[in-house]
Each structure stands twice: as C-alpha cells, then as structure tokens.
Amino acid sequence: MGLPSRKATCNSHGQDSSYFLGWQEYEKNPYDEVKNPKGIIQMGLAENQLSFDLLESWLAKNPDSAGFKRDGKSIFRELALFQDYHGLPAFKKALVDFMAEIRGNKVTFDPNHIILTAGATSANETLIFCLAEQGDAFLLPTPYYPGFDRDLKWRTEVEIVPIQCTSSNRFQITESALEEAYQQAQKKNLRVKGVLVTNPSNPLGTTMTRDELDLLINFITDKEIHLISDEIYSGTVFSSPAFVSIMEVLKDRNHENTEVWDRVHIVYSLSKDLGLPGFRVGAIYSNDPIVVAAATKMSSFGLVSSQTQYLLSAMLSDKKFTKEYISKNHRRLQKRQSKLVLGLEKAGISCLKSNAGLFCWVDMRHLLSSNTFEAEMELWKKIVYNVKLNISPGSSCHCTEPGWFRVCFANMSENTLKLAMQRLKLFVSSITINSQSHQEFKNSRRKARTNWVFRLSFQSFHDREQEER
C-alpha cells in the first residue's frame, strides 16, 4: 500500500545516458585553474558565459531595476505578492519585441499568444501535453538534444520516433527520411501528432535551410499534424547563413489564419541568448487559441517569478542595450567558436561547419578502434577519464553514425579552452604514435616472416640441388 507511483519508479527519465553521466564525473572532479588544475574540464554544458559583463554593466547602470524600485520607490512588496499565471504584461511585451529583434524584425509576435514557462524544458513538455496523448508520437530529426528523452517522454508517455539524418548531406532533413519515420511510427501502431525540430540545431550548431523549412511545412500540411520549432538558440547565430524562423516561412507563404498557421508552435527561452539558465525564463508561442488557453492554465505548475519578470522587462525594453548586446554577443561567439575549430584542427580533428549555437559537432571517427558505438564509448571514456574533458558522445544524441561528439565552447574562459585543446592534441598524438608503432611492429613481423620463408625456400632449393648432384 505504501509503494510509490508507477511514474515515480519508471526508468524512462534518461538520467543514465552518457550525456548526464559525463556531468556526474565532472562534478566529482571539476577543473579549477588554482584549486584543481588536473580536474575534468566541462565541455558538455551548453551555457553562454561570454557576455556576462554586458549584463552586469547594465545592472550597475540601472540600480532601480536591480533593486526592485520604480521611480526611486521600492515595489518589493508588490512583486513579492502572488501574480496570476498570465505573466506581467510589460514583460510579455518586452519579450516578444526581443524575439522579433533577433529575427531582424521580419516577423512580429502578439503578446497575447505567448505563455511564460520555467525554461524551455517546461515549455516543450507543456506543449506535448497540450498536443498529444499517451502512446502518441512526435518525429525528431537525429542527432537531437539528449534531454528531449526526458522533457518530451518521461511524464507525458508520448513516444519519440527518430528521423534518421546522416553526414552525407550535413545531417539535413530529407523528404524520404521524414516519410520513413512516419511509416515506422505507423508500423508500431503509434499515431503521429507532430514533428519537433530545434532551429538552430542542438547539437549540430547549424541553422536549418529554407528548403528544409518548406519541406516541413509541406509535410505537416499533407499529414495534418503539428510542428514545434524549438528556437532557443535563435539569438546565437553568429555567421551566415542567417537564421530563418518558421514564422517567417509561414508569413512568406501566406499561411496566416489557416489551419497550418494554428498547428505551428514556437518554443523560446532566455537561457542561451542572454546566458540566463538560472533565471528559468521560457516561453511558448502559438497561434492556436485552444493551445494558448490550455498552456496558460498549465503554466501555473512552472511560473516565472515576478521579480525576474520585472527586472528583465526593464532590461529588454532598453533597445540601445539589446542592440549592443546582440551584436557584441554574436562577435564573441564567432571568435570563440573559431578558437575551438582551430584548436581541433591542430589536433588533427575536423568538425561540421557551423554558424550558430554554443558548441561544435566534432568528427572523431578516425580515432575509433572500429566503426561501432562500442568503440565510440571506449573513446569517450578515455577522453573523460584520461584526457579529463567531458564531451557528449553522438550516441547520446541518437546519431546514427559512431564517432561524432558535441563539444561546447562558451561556458569557459579562453585559457581553459586553450588548455582543453592542448590536452586533446597530446591525446591524439599518443593514439597516432601507438597506432604507428603497432603498424611498424606488424610490418616488421611481416618482413621477418617473409625473410624466414625466403631462407627456408632457399635452403630447400639448395638441399635439392645437392641431392641432384
């Protein structure tokens, strides 16, 4: 009678994924330049710590907002009291304006269509609850963010069916891959309720092409299903091609106020673009009034604090600040990404060409002992335990090809990144030397065997010649 619920004891959270296990190993032995210089460097965490000084500078110049004051008078009591789950109107207006600014003001957003949530995790789960039932399925292109196994499935009991993408076309979505995933779901007697994509992609660090976005719109139109576009990294696009929001595509195709218009939903957060994951500010944007109403009610389980909303509404309403922040943040991300790519190249490692995000999709297939996921895990363990770098193996992202890894670059100092690349270069050099030594040993054995066979043959010939004489 005292047993916990089935959900409490089920093992579908995904906490045993190598993605999370790497974090656990890091926490046991975290790198510190002074206190623990031989510890594990965290390169598995997609945080943006490159522009904190810009945020701190704004706070210093706006003490009233930081001190919860309005016109010099404290509003602490006002903010401390309960606010309804619709959110502060000033913050919702500031947030949708910021979302439009990130998208070059090519699209606008109605604050009445936005629902505030405690981060993108809560936003995605809430949307799944609103759109699907237990046993339904969503299609996700691989590789995808490992946390989706938890966010989308654990409590909702909705299934994920992968859209298999490969390196042959830079992991882009194809019509055949979409259709194959849909058919695979039907074979499993799963009703497909929609497709979920992350644009820009986590873990690829790339923006989706216009052809891919058009393909997705055509697909959900044909199948009469939903599309969730998780655009949490939309403000991290630091080089061409430019980011194109799914809302821009709908607008260009004149889909406003159509059935498709109501079946496309956006997830957003300030965790990556402003580097504020601890503030837990996420949002759902939907044109479907039924989804907006239901998600708003559900948001009471994960509200954003009034204090947070007040502070950020003042910050995001400062257009001079947001313009400067977006520009400088882009330049810093591009510079840091370039340093990672250069460091990898010096170590003899390449990566997928990227233009967004806080990470690179790194190709280490040539370092595998065999073309298997077992070999990938063997390499990953060496990198975590011997090299002392926590990176995320592609298998944790459901990649179909062993040997790919996600490596983050924006959550550490430039010196720490430099040290990480030095460690990796030494490791790759040791593998190369060992491989060469092994090959030389094999060659020497082969040469010795050839000489022995030659001597044996010569001796046999000599013996026969003597007998004939």
CB atoms within 10 A of CB 61: 11
119 and 189 housed in the same domain: yes
113 and 174 housed in the same domain: yes
Question: What pLDDT is attached to residue 9?
Answer: 64
Which among 149, 230, 273, 363 is annotated as catalytic? 230
| 3-state SS string for 290-328 | HHHHHHHHHHHHCCCCHHHHHHHHHHHHCHHHHHHHHHH
Residue 391 lies in a domain: yes
High-pLDDT (> 90) share of the chain, %: 77
Of the residues 297, 322, 347, which one is the last residue of a structural domain? 322
Question: How many domains does the structure of the chain reveal?
Answer: 2
Of the residues 322, 345, 379, which one is the last residue of a structural domain? 322
Question: What pLDDT is attached to residue 453?
Answer: 44
Question: What pLDDT is attached to residue 454?
Answer: 44
Q: Residue 117 belongs to what H/E stretch? A: strand 114-117
Q: pLDDT (tens digit, 9 = 90+) per residue, 259-299?
A: 999 999 999 999 999 999 989 999 999 999 999 999 999 98
| Helical H segments across 159-230, by residue range | 175-187, 210-223
Q: What is the CATH number of the domain that holds 254?
A: 3.40.640.10
Residue 339 lies in a domain: yes
232 among known catalytic residues = yes
**Does position 124 have pLDDT exceeding 70, yes or no?**
yes
Of the residues 294, 322, 350, which one is the last residue of a structural domain? 322
255 and 363 housed in the same domain: no
At 233, is the pLDDT very low, low, confident or very high (cuts 50, 70, 90)? very high
Question: What pLDDT is attached to residue 23?
Answer: 82
Question: What pLDDT is attached to residue 17?
Answer: 73
Residue 303 lies in a domain: yes
27 and 141 housed in the same domain: no
Range of the domain at 14: 6-50+333-428
Q: Residue 162, preceding bond cis, omega within 30 degrees?
A: no
At 58, is the pLDDT very low, low, confident or very high (cuts 50, 70, 90)? very high
Q: pLDDT (tens digit, 9 = 90+) per residue, 443-462?
A: 555 655 555 444 544 455 44
Q: What is the mean pLDDT of the chain?
A: 90
Residue 255 lies in a domain: yes
Point out the least confidently predicted range of 83-87, 305-309, 336-340.
Answer: 83-87
Residue 318, classified by CB atoms within 10 Å of its CB into exposed (0-12), middle (13-18) or buried (19+), is middle
More confident residue, 73 or 13: 73
102 among known catalytic residues = no
**Does position 440 have pLDDT exceeding 70, yes or no?**
no
**Does position 332 have pLDDT exceeding 80, yes or no?**
yes
Q: Which pTM does this prediction carry? A: 0.89
High-pLDDT (> 70) share of the chain, %: 89
Question: What pLDDT is attached to residue 431?
Answer: 84
385 and 284 housed in the same domain: no
10 and 30 housed in the same domain: yes
273 and 191 housed in the same domain: yes
Residue 68, classified by CB atoms within 10 Å of its CB into exposed (0-12), middle (13-18) or buried (19+), is middle
Which among 232, 246, 284, 391 is annotated as catalytic? 232
- 12 in Cβ contact with 158 (< 8 Å): no
319 among known catalytic residues = no
Q: What is the CATH number of the domain that holds 422?
A: 3.90.1150.10
Structure tokens that stand for 126 in this block: 């809430």
Which among 182, 272, 388, 391 is annotated as catalytic? 272
Which among 26, 145, 182, 310 is annotated as catalytic? 145
Q: pLDDT (tens digit, 9 = 90+) per residue, 362-411?
A: 999 999 999 999 999 999 999 999 999 999 999 999 999 999 999 999 99
Question: What pLDDT is attached to residue 463?
Answer: 53
209 and 341 housed in the same domain: no
Residue 445 lies in a domain: no
Residue 90 lies in a domain: yes
CB atoms within 10 A of CB 205: 28
Residue 436 lies in a domain: no
Residue 368 lies in a domain: yes
Question: What pLDDT is attached to residue 458?
Answer: 43
280 and 183 housed in the same domain: yes
More confident residue, 174 or 454: 174
116 and 180 housed in the same domain: yes
311 and 373 housed in the same domain: no
21 and 85 housed in the same domain: no
